[in-house]
């Protein structure tokens, strides 16, 4: 393993850590000093918690770093490392010299294969993709290719990587092309069923057509959102939260093209020229409990955001899961072109 791709120096901006974690499968980044001595670890979970606290990407890595980490000595066997990691429920075990210099790393993801999971993954694949114009006249949007594969297959493969093999595809526009390509899913070692919407039902309406309805925690994904989110970790955090729903959110920064004027009554209190406005936005990836379906109206089109708002008004908990991994919404020509160049 190339440690240079897993390590940053003390004082490095969190933005660099985000880029390094996003570019690897390690789900963590080690912090060292100038001599190579291990100082701390930043996991993707540490990053998410820091972002929710208001930490910015320009802050130093120490703002998100965990300095209290378990290490092991040079010469530790894989079996001993695995036993230690399972006993302590940790995913990273750095190997250090007696002086604390980092020499290598054991990763739990490389020592064990992901377990097969029974949670259903519902993928919304019925949209017309009108913003893509002539590309979707004869081809459903989920079948447009990203680096030689239909984008829906890219979404499917990411789910399979984390042990999820049960799928429901909600289809409508030119659905036969999707069904002919994916069939029952056996080619991918998966099981695929289909919900055929007679008319478009939005981003949540098709959930009421799943028969039998999910009995356990389930996912809802969009076929045109490709990403490298760790769905197993997302499920774990959702289940520990006790929430009805968990939605992935992503921080987006917008440059306001005008000066922002703050007022107190009619008096100007301050002026900020063309500020950057930072917000979390909906990333289109959800984990839901079965009784979420009670909030979805029957026999009508509905969107996930409206249903989530209804659940919130009723007093139910909706949890946020900040993501920083590779993520793209393939809604237009520009994003589709970028995806073909950037998908890892």
* Domains along the sequence of the chain with CATH: 3-111 (3.10.580.10), 117-342 (3.90.550.10)
pLDDT class of 342 with cuts at 50, 70, 90: low
CA distances 12 to 20, 64, 65, Å, are 12, 11, 11
Confidence of residue 343 (pLDDT cuts 50, 70, 90): low
The pLDDT-based confidence of 166 (bands split at 50, 70, 90) is very high
Q: How is residue 21 annotated by DSSP?
A: H
Q: What are phi and psi of 163, to 5 degrees?
A: 90, 5
Determine how β-strand 28-32 pairs with β-strand 38-43.
antiparallel
Residue-wise pLDDT for 33-42, tens only, equals 999 999 999 9
Estimate the share of the chain in helix, then strand, then coil, as percent rounded to the nearest 5. Answer: 35, 30, 35
| Tokens describing residue 334 | 């520009």
- Express each pLDDT in 252-287 by its tens digit: 888 888 998 999 998 999 999 988 888 899 999 999
User: What count of other Cβ atoms lies within 10 Å of the Cβ of residue 80?
Assistant: 14
Q: Which residue has the tokens 């930072």?
A: 278
Average pLDDT over residues 234-243: 96
> Is the pLDDT confidence value at 2 over 80?
no
* % of the chain exceeding 90 in pLDDT: 71
Distance CA 242, CA 229 (A): 21
- For residue 331, what pLDDT is reported? 79
User: What are 171-224's pLDDT values in tens digits?
Assistant: 999 999 999 999 999 999 999 999 999 999 999 999 999 999 999 999 999 999
Q: Identify the DSSP state of 39.
A: E
Classified as helix, coil or strand, 60 is strand
What is the chain's mean pLDDT, rounded? 92
Cβ contact 127:136 at 8 Å: no
- Cβ atoms 195, 296 nearer than 8 A: no
Q: How far apart are CA 290 and CA 300, in angstroms?
A: 19
Mean pLDDT on 116-127:
94
Q: Is the pLDDT of residue 234 over 90?
A: yes
d(CA 265, CA 301): 43
- pLDDT of 344: 52
pLDDT in tens, 240-255: 999 999 999 998 888 8
For residues 110-123, give the mean pLDDT: 90
Using CA atoms, how far residue 324 sits from 106, 113, 123, 243, in Å, is 23, 24, 21, 22
């Amino acid at each position: 393993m190339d440690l240079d791709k897993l390590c940053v120096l003390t004082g490095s901006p969190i933005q660099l850590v985000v880029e390094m974690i996003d570019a690897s499968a390690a789900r963590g980044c080690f912090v060292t000093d100038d001599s190579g001595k291990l100082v701390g670890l930043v996991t993707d979970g540490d990053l998410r918690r820091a972002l929710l606290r208001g930490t910015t990407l320009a802050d130093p890595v120490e703002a998100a770093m965990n300095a209290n980490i378990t290490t092991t000595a040079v010469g530790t066997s894989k079996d001993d490392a695995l036993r230690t990691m399972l006993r302590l429920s940790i995913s990273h075990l750095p190997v250090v010299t007696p002086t604390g210099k980092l020499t290598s790393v054991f990763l739990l993801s490389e020592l064990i294969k992901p377990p097969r999971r029974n949670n259903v993954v519902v993928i919304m694949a019925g949209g017309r993709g009108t913003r893509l114009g002539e590309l979707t006249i004869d081809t459903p949007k989920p079948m447009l290719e990203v680096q030689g594969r239909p984008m829906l297959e890219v979404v499917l493969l990411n789910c399979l990587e984390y042990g999820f093999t049960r799928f429901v595809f909600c289809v409508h526009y030119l659905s036969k092309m999707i069904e002919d390509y994916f069939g029952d899913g056996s080619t991918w070692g998966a099981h695929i069923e289909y919900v055929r919407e007679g008319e478009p039902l939005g981003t949540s309406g098709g959930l009421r057509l799943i028969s039998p309805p999910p009995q356990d925690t389930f996912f809802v994904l969009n076929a045109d959102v490709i990403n490298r989110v760790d769905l197993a970790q997302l499920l774990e955090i959702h289940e520990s939260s006790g929430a009805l729903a968990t939605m992935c959110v992503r921080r987006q920064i917008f440059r306001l093209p005008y000066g922002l004027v703050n007022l107190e009554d009619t008096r100007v209190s301050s002026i900020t020229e063309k500020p950057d406005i930072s917000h979390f936005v909906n990333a289109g990836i959800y984990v839901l409990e079965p009784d979420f379906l009670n909030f979805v109206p029957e026999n009508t089109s509905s969107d996930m955001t409206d249903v989530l708002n209804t659940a919130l008004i009723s007093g139910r908990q909706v949890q946020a899961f900040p993501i920083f991994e590779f993520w793209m919404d393939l809604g237009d020509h520009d994003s589709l072109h970028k995806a073909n160049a950037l998908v890892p």
